[in-house]
Amino acid sequence: MADTEQREGSILQFAPFQSAVDEGFWHKLSSLKLNKLGIDDSPIPITGFYAPCSHSKVSNHLTLLAESLPSESGEQSSTAHGNRNRCAIPGILYNTNTIESFHTLDRTSLLKEEAKKIWEDIHSGKAIEDSSVLSRFLLISFADLKKWTFHYWFAFPALVLDPPATLVDLRPASQWFSSEEAESVSAACNAWRNSSSTADVPFFFIDIDPNSHATIRHLKDWVTCQGDNHKLLFGFYDPCHLPNNPGWPLRNFLALICSRWDLTSVQFLCYRENRGFADIGSSLVGEAVIAVPQGWKDRQFIPNAVGWELNRGKLNRGKMVPRCISLAKSMDPNRLAESAADLNLKLMRWRALPSLNLDILSGLKCLLLGAGTLGCQVARMLMAWGVRKITLLDNGRVSMSNPLRQSLYTLDDCLNGGELKATAAVRSLKRIFPTVEAVGIVMAIPMPGHPVPSQEELGVLDACKTLHDLIDSHDVVFLLTDTRESRWLPSLLCANLDKITITAALGFDSFLVMRHGAGPFSSNEDLKDEAVNALSTDLGNLDLGGRDERQRLGCYFCNDVVAPVDSTANRTLDQQCTVTRPGLAPIASALAVELLVGILHHPRGIFAEGEATSSSNSGSSEMPLGILPHQIRGSFSQFSQMTLVGHSSNSCTACSGTVVSEYRKRGMEFILQAINHPTYLEDLTGLTELMKSAFSFKLDWDADTDVDDDDCVEI
């Protein structure tokens, strides 16, 4: 209220409390809402801070900081006691889920409920033991986390004295005390404020003996300090700077004095400071006459209360309105983008997917082999799921035909011969989401069927070692290249290192998305650590005893009966390019990333069995994300999709125990032989003998044999 001079015999008027909220409070509330509270709108205990007025022109505010809120673990943030600049007082926060709920809150009932707590604390004696509860406050809010806008309204409940207190005298303390008393009171106040045990105790009383010696005491000592010729004043930390009005905390203090000690005349000190020391010149001493209101001796009686903060809106014709603050403009754009990107994922955990593990996703390191149509889409889908560490490997350049189908490139990337795809893709990802940790690797993948001249062997071996190190340093590998043979070496290395591997491949109007099974020498034991279970098993912890390969899921090459060869030689342009219906890549890419998320959230991780839609042991009723298939094959010509399961093959040229063992024995020498000699892998795995057996096998049909229809088996 405005500074108004109060005359003797007039009603005592108080300057209302004012609030201030630090940005850190809203940031922490947002995090608490998204990560822990969800749709739970139960009241939250909070802590506010204030201190005595320390400036002749500005009142101190009740301030909310980040530590005013409880931690996300559920514990109330620890508040250091003895901080002279932070007198802690308890509060309650009602944060609604919608703006409509915020506007329809019953503010009268909420205020009365908090006033009741103050009234009960007075009668129980708690307010004497812990006087901070006399300044208990209330905050209602709505956090619009899409726009980073916060609507809020404070209330500082004050019990209404009826009849109201009458002012007898109010003047600066320097005019009320003698010079000796003023000096002693000032010294006593400074000692009280400098003691860690009393610095943040906001209500007290001052005992001045006949020798003008002042002592400050706790309220609980009131009864034992009654003495002849002693001056007794009730003191409180006054946040108000006005020279003619005491601050708001005095209201409930008078209610306590009136109710507990039946005093009808009260002398009080409005304690204020200047530069950290008691300022007797700006502090006020007053005397008020109070009458015990009717019904106050009845504990069941609850006095009326006032206290909603006076926020008057310019556009609301002076009506009291809530406050609104927007932090969007003041936030760092990168931080704002990160918060907005995670919003959808955190909202999933409110109702739809409480078990979603965002920590696993944000810490996951994904290697994308291929930055073309599939690679661009997969990278964006990974970011949408909260993956922040992405490496793209490709040796191609952006051509004029790419931007329409490959979503990370624009026309500018095609100019001057075309930007390297790995470089352009990373730059685009960082434009989309600045805090993504994206890396581009320009490198060709060595491939079987593409013989290497002797003068180029060292370069190819370096590429093989680089690819091995990249796969070893990542948790997940996506095979997104456009030729079959370019997937062979990564498939072998992933099987050897036991990495989660996802393949996506496109035909003209069909697609395949699949997850590779664990390596042939991996342990099939259930992993206890969920985070480790979700990620690939460390090579050093592998059980080399082997296991039944019939139970292991197959890789991309397990159904092949020939080794991968050069698929681009002697091909027309339409056969060399990936000619597909444009809608295939987004669908296949989305399924590939969804498959990964399913693996990460499955209890058995990479060892999870393949499930089909009609599987009797389908985990759809148990797993929060539904079934976890091995292969997903789709067809646009039929607008159909089916899930299949294929187990590993002992003759697989990429993941069989024979091939992985040979690689472990011979290393890069084995890789070179597989690249330069097309039939080597077939000979090694027994596919050559298998094909010979198949060609030599003859079926003898007896044309004269009569077969009844009843003997036929319907397939």
Contact 266, 290 (CB under 8 A): yes
Tokens linked to 508: 């003209």
Residue keyed to tokens 């994308």: 368
CA angle 100–44–331, rounded 5-degree value: 70
Catalytic residue status for 366: no
> Does residue 163 have a cis peptide bond before it, meaning omega lies within 30 degrees of 0?
yes
Q: Where are the beta strands (DSSP E) in 327-475?
A: 365-369, 389-393, 437-441
Q: Which of 577, 652, 655, 712 is catalytic?
A: 577
What backbone phi and psi angles, to 5 degrees, belong to 681? -65, -35
Q: What are phi and psi of 577, to 5 degrees?
A: -85, 155
**DSSP line for 274-295:** ETTEE-TTTSEEEEEE----TT
CA angle, 35 then 40 then 45, to 5°: 85
Whole-number Å distance between alpha carbons of 401 and 397:
11
Of 389, 495, 486, the closest CA to residue 443 belongs to 486
Q: Which residues pair with 154 in a beta bridge?
A: 139
Dihedral of CA 343/349/352/355: which sign? positive
Rounded CA separation 185/206 (Å) = 8
Tokens of 303: 């006095």
For residue 439, which of 464, 422, 453, 452 has the smallest C-alpha distance? 422
Q: What is the DSSP string of 316-338?
A: GTT-B--EEEE-TTTS-HHHHHH
Residues 6+ apart with CB under 8 A from 100: none
| Closest to 166 (Cα-Cα) out of 270, 266, 282 | 266
CA angle 258, 263, 265 (to 5 degrees): 110
Residues designated as active site: 577
